[in-house]
Amino acid sequence: MATTSDNAPKNKGKPSLTQDEVIQKFQTLRNEQRQLALKLSELEQDLHEHNLVLETLKTADPARRCYRLVSGVLCEMTVADVCPVVRNNSEQLTRLIATLKEQLVSKGRELVEHKERYNIRIRGAPDDRPPPGSEEEKQGTGAVGKEPSSVLVGGSSDAAIVN
């Protein structure tokens, strides 16, 4: 004898999301990806500056005085003291940049998976659907035939269901 709980659809531990929750999750993922890209860009600029300093200090006399900004305080040091520290910072930046690139790729995959799972389309982005009024649209043989409706996400908060 079957019980009502046996006939209930299995959600595999993931509750179904409303349209607003889908859009909110998509916006959150996009913002996280943007923040990672901005941080990556900032760190790459810092690495470039570190490498520029190292290149400049290569030709300088090791006993020569130089100044290094440490936590907002300008410290007087010698070139011989500064070079290893700047080189170490440069190496750490390189490792951090590699890690951030991996995170950015991972976040991109997560965003694409979410986008495909809920059939999200970006307003103004190229589309695989046939143009309105075409024979393909009338017959329903367009390239995107996954579901009859999808979530359309626009700028920062525009979103709608498209049939």
Query: Which residues, in sequence order, are CB contacts of 6 under 8 Å at separation 6+?
Result: none
Residue 31 lies in a domain: yes
Domain co-membership, 91 together with 148: no
Residue range 43-69, pLDDT digits in tens: 999 999 999 999 999 999 999 999 999
CA distance 96 to 91: 9
Model pLDDT for residues 106-163, shown as the tens digit of each residue: 999 999 999 999 999 988 888 655 566 666 555 554 444 444 456 666 654 444 333 2
Asked whether residue 72 falls in the same domain as residue 129, the answer is no
Q: Which domain holds residue 75?
A: 18-118
**Domain check: are 40 and 105 in the same one?**
yes
Shared-domain flag, residues 77 and 88: yes
What is the pLDDT, as a whole number, of residue 125?
A: 81
Whether residue 6 lies inside any domain: the answer is no
Same domain membership, residue 123 and residue 108 = no
